[in-house]
């Protein structure tokens, strides 16, 4: 995938980059959104609303649950990116997000989709393998408290016995 060094270098501070992007993509950006440097490391800070609802893993029990979550997240992401375009005119961002995304994707959207889906499946399989290794370690380390998982690798499905 193409990498644009100019994009990263246009912000001297990576916390500032995140802050500018957040302000552009959110209709009502956090009034406490900002950035700072500690021990030569860049950070951004924000207020977390006590009223925001959290997505809990226990609420995703089926593939249909996951599909619904992804559909909602996709709609929210699209809405934030659409709002960012208006903020370009106000000078918050100096670029249009969809142009940057299109550049990153390259000239062949099908090739990008294929690359992304292969990467996602490989990553999911690695996560499942890591989970099996972790539970084996946990069972050896804490045998009295361990829960015996049953994971079918490559399916993304997990059943607790």
Burial classification of residue 84, based on how many CB atoms lie within 10 Å of its CB (0-12 exposed, 13-18 middle, 19 or more buried): buried
What's the average model confidence in pLDDT over 18-44? 78
Cα 159 to Cα 9: distance, rounded to the nearest angstrom: 46
Q: Are the CB atoms for 82 and 9 separated by under 8 Å? A: no
Q: Is the pLDDT of residue 35 over 80?
A: yes
Q: Is the pLDDT of residue 49 over 80?
A: no
Range among 14-18, 86-90, 126-130 rated most confident: 126-130
- Of the two residues 55 and 87, the one the predictor is more confident about is 55
Q: What is the pLDDT of residue 161?
A: 35
Which three-class secondary structure state does DSSP give residue 71? Answer: helix
Q: Is the pLDDT of residue 96 over 80?
A: no
Q: What is the pLDDT of residue 118?
A: 92
Cα 9 to Cα 27: distance, rounded to the nearest angstrom: 26
Q: Are the CB atoms for 44 and 18 separated by under 8 Å? A: yes
Q: What is the pLDDT of residue 51?
A: 57
What is the distance in angstroms between the CA of the first residue and the CA of the last residue of the chain?
42
What's the average model confidence in pLDDT over 121-130? 90
| DSSP state, residue 91 | T
What is the value of pTM for the model shown? 0.39
Q: What is the pLDDT of residue 7?
A: 66
Computed over every residue of the chain, the mean pLDDT equals 76
């Amino acid at each position: 995938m193409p990498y644009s060094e100019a994009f990263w270098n246009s912000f001297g501070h990576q916390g500032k980059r995140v802050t500018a992007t957040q302000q552009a993509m959110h209709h009502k950006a956090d009034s406490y959104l900002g950035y700072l440097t500690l021990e030569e490391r860049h950070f951004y800070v924000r207020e977390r609303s006590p009223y925001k609802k959290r997505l809990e893993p226990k609420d995703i029990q089926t593939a249909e649950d996951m599909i619904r979550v992804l559909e909602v997240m996709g709609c929210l992401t699209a809405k934030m990116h659409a709002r960012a375009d208006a903020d370009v005119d106000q000078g918050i961002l100096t670029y249009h997000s969809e142009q940057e995304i299109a550049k990153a994707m390259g000239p062949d959207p099908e090739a990008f989709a294929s690359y992304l889906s292969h990467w996602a499946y490989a990553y999911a399989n690695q996560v499942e393998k890591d989970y099996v290794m972790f539970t084996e370690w946990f069972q050896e380390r804490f045998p009295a408290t361990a829960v015996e998982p049953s994971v079918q690798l490559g399916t993304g499905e997990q059943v607790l016995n």
